[in-house]
Amino acid sequence: MAVFLAVLASGGWRWLSLSKPTPTASKRYENCSRKESLVITIPAPRTISADRRRTLYFNAQRHFLTVSDDLHTTFSFDREGRLLGAFLDGINYRRGLCGDILMKRVGVAEGKLRRMLTPDERRQLLSLVGAHLVTFREYARHAAGVEVCAWLDRALTWDVARLEAEREAFYSIYKPISILPPDQYLSLVLQAAEGCSWNRCTFCSLYRDRRFRIKSPAEFRHHVQQVKAFIGAGISLRRSIFLGDANALIIPQPRLRELLAIVHDEFPLGVPGGMKGVYAFLDIFGAEQKTRDEYREMRDAQVKRVYLGLESGDEQVFRLLNKPGSPAACIEAVRTIKAAGINVGIILLAGAGGTRLASAHVARSLDALAAMNLSDGDLVYVSPLIVSPDSPYMQSLREAQSEPLDAAAARKQLERLKSGARSVCGSGVKAALYHLEEFIY
């Protein structure tokens, strides 16, 4: 009897065959569960021999269903029956709650291809998934359990028209969710504020489509209840709350206190089976305005990690990016946050400053990380700089008499920042890639 590990991560589902259940296999699972964003030990799958060439696998877990045809074609669904992801012909697909579908393919000439499907491609893929589901449901009728059959029936109600109509429903509840930290891709986003309070960084256009505003308690509670109704039983897959948008913790403390109280009213937090905590972005200027006591209050309200975009520890690069605050202010803000008992996630930009400032960018960014005294539970993310040729950043770069790094140099700098972060921060701090093109919500 085989045991499989199903890994749901940014690349979709991976299946790893293990030996029959033994203490060694169990130990391997325990080790994996601490390293992966979501790793589930799957009991020996039910198999149905559709014919001599095919075996179908049905794996119903607490939060998701995985169906695989010979482990070559795989689909996953949440408890509502919504499509989460697919693996077809060597290509991974992930569907967001917004209705978009991200395609990722490795092994191509460019190394890795990532892009959103066009509307026509998206509908074609959803039609194909629906056709597979009809076949899976027919075979499941003969041998699979009641739970699997009921789950497949729910999935079949999500035809192309219903899945496409959900896009409109999503955008009636949310402003576009532009980005999340990678460890929060499976969080439940609640937009306590909309937009970015600064919104003038030369390299970022993620929030230029909306003005910054803070929701009233009544409006926020209504938003939360709409989100819960929209996601339905699929909420079981979401294990934390992400308070959006770009800079939610800049909200003045009296209002923030009210909004966090609403989160506690609507969700179990910090208890077995409940949400694991609240996470949010904060810019450096906003971080400077909060006191240690205010951060302690946030900690007591189950705020677990605050993400700050340092981007660069070099003053000149920092000014090119037009970030609020300064690298020195970021260091002090991080120390204050950590002294209150909250973890941090620090974001660096690979490629910032271009050729002329490359060495200073790497060296002073690592110096800044070292000065923050990061520890267990803290994260460092390195994100490739992605800007359009006509962005304000490119104009600033030319004025600084610098040029963008070429692709090879940018990759090399990214690896230097990651390895350098691991070196200066110690083994308890994880350093990882943060790629904007990997994100979908």
**Residue 169: inside a domain:** no
Query: Are 134 and 197 contained in the same domain?
Result: no
For residues 319 and 274, state if they share a domain: yes
Would you state the pLDDT for residue 109? 58
416 shares a domain with 351: yes
- Distance separating alpha carbons of residues 440 and 153, to the nearest angstrom: 26
Is the pLDDT reported for residue 39 higher than 50? no
Is there a domain that residue 119 lies in?
yes
In a domain, 241, yes or no: yes
Same domain, 25 and 93: yes
Task: Out of 164, 186, 206, pick the residue that ends a domain.
Answer: 164
pLDDT digit string, tens, across residues 265-320: 999 998 888 999 999 999 887 778 899 999 999 999 999 999 999 999 999 999 99
Is the confidence at residue 235, as pLDDT, over 60? yes
Whether 143 and 247 map to the same domain: the answer is no
User: What does the alpha-carbon distance between residue 334 and residue 338 come to, in Å, rounded to a whole number?
Assistant: 6
**Tokens at 200, concatenated:** 């003038």
Q: Kindly state whether residues 276 and 414 are assigned to the same domain.
A: yes
Confidence band for 141, pLDDT divided at 50, 70 and 90: confident
Please report the pLDDT score of residue 143 as a whole number. 66
pLDDT at 48: 44
**One domain for residues 363 and 242:** yes
Q: Which of 105, 136, 164 is the last residue of a domain?
A: 164
Please state the domain count of the chain. 2
Whether 433 maps to a domain, the answer reads yes
pLDDT in tens, 162-219: 999 999 999 999 999 999 999 999 999 999 999 999 999 999 999 999 999 999 999 9
Looking at per-residue pLDDT, the higher value among 72 and 74 belongs to: 74
What one-character-per-residue DSSP string does 118-165 give? PHHHHHHHHHHHHHHHHHHHHHHHHHS-HHHHHHHHHHHT--HHHHHH
Last residue of a domain, one of 139, 164, 189: 164
Examine the domain organization and report whether 95 and 231 are in the same domain.
Answer: no
- Asked if residue 388 lies in contact with residue 397, where contact means CB atoms within 8 angstroms, the answer is no
Does 326 reside within a domain? yes
- Residue 110's pLDDT band (cuts 50, 70, 90): low
Q: Is 247 within a domain?
A: yes
**pLDDT for position 207:** 93
Confidence of residue 220 (pLDDT cuts 50, 70, 90): very high
Judgement on whether residues 321 and 391 belong to the same structural domain of the protein: yes
Looking at the fold, whether 125 and 184 belong to one and the same domain comes out as no
Show the domain range for 394: 174-438
Q: Write the CATH number for 238.
A: 3.20.20.70
The residue among 244, 240, 165, 176 whose CA lies nearest residue 205 is 176
Percent of the chain scoring above 70 in pLDDT: 86
Q: Is residue 237 over pLDDT 50? A: yes
pLDDT of 31 over the 50 cut: no
256 with 171: CB under 8 angstroms?
A: no
| Whether residues 286 and 421 fall in one domain | yes
> Same structural domain for residues 385 and 284?
yes
**Does residue 408 lie within any of the structural domains?**
yes
Is residue 100 assigned to a domain? yes
Question: What integer is the mean pLDDT of 18-44?
Answer: 29
